[in-house]
Chains A and B, each alone.
Chain A
């Protein structure tokens, strides 16, 4: 029998959380170390995934690109199963999650000082939930993991957050929960419609929530959705994802959540949690509802472009560094949505790679803000000046990360942005007018990031910042660990693009009939 690698990767963090329950509540150091070991082991185990992932060329012409599949019956009478698999779309998102987790755990040494054990437990649970979202091949299983990500994150914000944490946590929970409730209805609706539709030809059919099975029936024509129904279901899924991404104008929970969340929480939130939305759009919206996706693409493109520009302008006007980074996320995620709804392989693969990039760069930016916050306990840019003089290594790393976020060629951010823009330019649904505006986001990104850099790092050192120590070893390790892929992806993104090609082509092939037929 095959080793269930996915289950190992998925449940290792949760097992680690269980183990942590046995640790006495006050032994912070021990809890951190256990969490770190668990996170590192999870990452190492997950490394087998890209190593053993078979790119399409070896698979032959078959349409199956799901790999490492595992299925166990769960509620067979409803057609519900515990089924996991990954393809080129989810592979790198899984890797991003397992890669960021040890980094986040490391950062808790400096940023979390109370209830450390419980923090680690929640963090590890959150990791399992996020991995589950990327791996699940059953709609119910997906939904359960999706909702389960909310709970640990809400507590991370609500317990370890800043002064207004309870408000932010509640807003985060209610807002994203409201979006996903509609998705649950859509999942049920899809299940019922599918069962009824198949039952016509196969009386007594029990129905299934297996994603692959439903998609196969959709493509074969055995299961046909009426246009109006399809659009309605699409809307329900899309809203949940759009709130999570967040797409303008559903973004207002994000700045609150980020500002209140502890550094580690912000890194997970920006690094992985937002990606759930983008992933959902590719996996569920585009694949299940191709016609509706095409129908909605221009409107969504407009929202994405508004988000790109709006997020950037609002980021520029911030005085709080963390809020600036939070709004920059709104702008960057706009690019990702734009790429997804270009509905071609350039746009979608660009969006996937940009999700990775955003996770690395913005995660690093939140860590960077955290470094200063731990030293001075303020995030107001005006409180700082001339940090370059006192913390040169830190300043150098910050510059690299800021440039990556601003899309400097040679670093990762540019690759994603360029491929996305090329996809949108080529797309018959979007086209060059969208780009004429979206490209402003590139200019604005340089403006707000360099504004931050100039105010905080350049100029004379002010009194309060004089004598700040440069990065300690732990901070250095976490940031350098993020900088290495930033450079590598910038110069050799092929290792990311390669394995995702066949899976992206699969998504695009599913869209081809509706695009051709318009």
Chain B
């Protein structure tokens, strides 16, 4: 039964997409249909997960093949779904948070002239995201992978009249494509070495298509490349996959698109650019974990890229004024935590953090959307202040989200972050631990700053009348706030011996990730808590005390301490500027040179020149054709004489 049930999960939102594109023309219908279908998907996902849980542990993997997608030569790639513990938690997150965001959008997007299209895109996104996490092979995963990229493009550029939004949409797609190219190469290499792209063995039409994840040990010792510098195949493949993940999950050096992506509607930022799509890279690494684990070299790169990203983005988040850009850099930073966890071999902890982050970051984005909505499209925090009285629900829920992100006990973020840090300690990744610890201190500080700037002090810009948002928006906020508060329960560490319901998630994921739960480290937890509370308080108090000094065009209170470094942080270490100067600019120059000089004058010049040469020769020959019959007669005679004498000579 699970075989066909799991097909319904992505098909329902697909149906919503088709209805919204071809049939529905009315805002209310569109929103309700879209939300209901995603809600339906969520219920089915719950049912499917329960059924999966009812199976014996080693059998918890359902694969359903619809048809052979590509079958030519030696290739046989099925169009098939997979449902196992790892997929199930991803599906629950995508449909659960996705459903809430659909409902929220009913309020947030009300009155937009293209709202039907908005819901169509949102449904398509959920479909593609489900394909991504439910695919039973790399190629289908890639369909979802690029499909969510497309939806991201459509939704960032939803208000395409704005130049900024159009540019950001294209940038997101193109930067992702760079990662995708590496992903493509990885798939080619996987197929070349394993002869398959499916993750696990699967039976199609009586034939077993082998799964490559189960054959990874065969790769050990295999290398390719020139003799003086061979690369292990596992390293090559996993490194390419890592590049793919840096694109989708906005890691250094490809994170530059995510802050710009905030040009899209805020619920989109919550769903795509915080809770689900950007975590796809982490999911993919967890799914292909055997290949990563087979290559210590890549693992080390993964860990350091994660740490570096967490630090770069964490510092950049300190110096943003735009309410959503703070959250965007924060997302990048948190994704860095997850990636670092993967690199350190704590895949279950990475998924744990992915899930809690999906909940509390969605909450924060939706909260910021509520703020933006209630302040009449104000996004600059310098124009806010004192909103806690006007928007109490938003304020309290936001506070829960901020606390969870900062890692305050006992909110969700504390447990998942602690799991990662504890693993770093127990596995001895000390330098990485220090990096991540600093990044978590930064997190607490900028959240304290943001809460202060938005909700404390007095309203700095009197041009609007702030109001609380409607029910469609506040109810999802409250639900998510409850989630952010208690989501840690799903994977509590063993706090005391004999504790019931400890590390549920790690155990649930065991058939996929084969990981033992980490040990709780009370000392580390204590340090982390003191750090989080202290830095959060510091951020809050600095900006609350100096609230009156904050104004548009003025300097940040922290500028006094940091000086020009603040500008560097605001520009996120100028990485984007570097790309503009070192890549985009030269590319245009080369393109123009080739198009305007080299092609028309170089290559075509040669062609036309050759043509002219023959033309010139022909003209020369034509000179001989003077039209005088006597001349022709003479030439003819000479010719005949020559031929005759030649024949005579042979005959002789």
Residues in A lying within 8 Å of B, measured CB to CB: 171, 174-175, 249, 251-253, 310, 313-314, 316-318, 344-346, 349-350, 386, 388-389, 403, 408-410, 415, 418-419, 421-423, 425-426, 432, 435-436, 439-440, 442-443, 446-447, 450-451, 453-454, 457-461, 491-494, 497-498, 500-501, 504
Contacts and interface: CB of A to CB of B under 8 A. Distances in A.
A316 B192 contact: no
Contacts of A174: 611
A424 to B, nearest CB: 9
A497 B143 contact: no
B319 to A, nearest CB: 29
Which interface residue of B67, B72, B139, B157 has the most chain A CB atoms within 10 A?
B72
B603 A249 contact: yes
Contacts of A251: 603
Given A386-B160, A408-B147, 14 more contacts: A171-B611, A314-B594, A316-B587, A317-B591, A317-B592, A344-B73, A349-B73, A432-B189, A439-B185, A443-B178, A450-B173, A460-B161, A494-B68, A504-B72
Interface in B69-125: 69-75, 79
A453 B180 CA distance: 20
5 contacts: A313-B590, A419-B70, A422-B75, A450-B153, A454-B167
A318 B73 contact: no
Given A439-B181, A451-B170, A494-B68, A389 B161 contact: yes
B321 interface: no
B257 interface: no
Contacts of A415: 70
Interface string B221-240: 00010000000000000000
Which interface residue of A313, A409, A419, A500 has the most chain B CB atoms within 10 A?
A409
A439 B184 contact: yes
A493 B150 CA distance: 22
A460 to B, nearest CB: 5
B170 A314 contact: no
A410 B132 CA distance: 12
B607 A175 contact: yes
A450 to B, nearest CB: 5
A340 B82 CA distance: 34
B619 to A, nearest CB: 15
Nearest to A490: B143
Which interface residue of A344, A494, A500 has the most chain B CB atoms within 10 A?
A494
Given A418-B139, A443-B181, A458 B157 contact: yes
B647 to A, nearest CB: 23
B142 interface: yes
A265 B596 CA distance: 25
Contacts of A345: 72-74
B301 interface: no
Contacts of A491: 69, 79
B381 to A, nearest CB: 28
B194 interface: no
A500 B71 CA distance: 11
Given A317-B591, A457-B160, A491-B79, A252 B188 contact: no
Contacts of B595: 313-314, 317-318
Which interface residue of B150, B167, B599 has the most chain A CB atoms within 10 A?
B599
B72 A497 contact: yes
B594 A493 contact: no
B545 interface: no
B174 A443 contact: yes
B368 to A, nearest CB: 25
Nearest to B596: A317
B191 interface: yes
Contacts of A426: 74, 191-192
B174 A252 contact: no
A457 B588 CA distance: 21
Contact of B160 (A451, A458, A492, A501): A458
Contacts of B67: 492, 494
B187 to A, nearest CB: 8
B70 A493 contact: yes
B611 A409 contact: no
- Please provide the 7 A-B residue pairs with the shortest distance between their CB atoms, ordered closest to farther: A317-B591, A317-B595, A345-B73, A458-B166, A252-B604, A409-B143, A458-B160
A349 B596 CA distance: 36
A406 to B, nearest CB: 8
B116 to A, nearest CB: 11
A493 B69 contact: yes
B177 A446 contact: yes
A453 B173 CA distance: 12
Contact of B75 (A249, A419, A451): A419
Nearest to A447: B174
A435 B166 contact: no
B484 to A, nearest CB: 34
Given A350-B72, A389-B161, A408-B146, A310 B594 contact: yes
A422 B191 contact: yes
Nearest to A439: B181
Contacts of B70: 415, 418-419, 493-494, 497
B340 to A, nearest CB: 27
B163 interface: yes
Contacts of B177: 442-443, 446-447
A497 B71 contact: yes
Contacts of B591: 313-314, 316-317
Nearest to B143: A409
Given A409-B142, A450-B173, A458-B166, A346 B185 contact: no
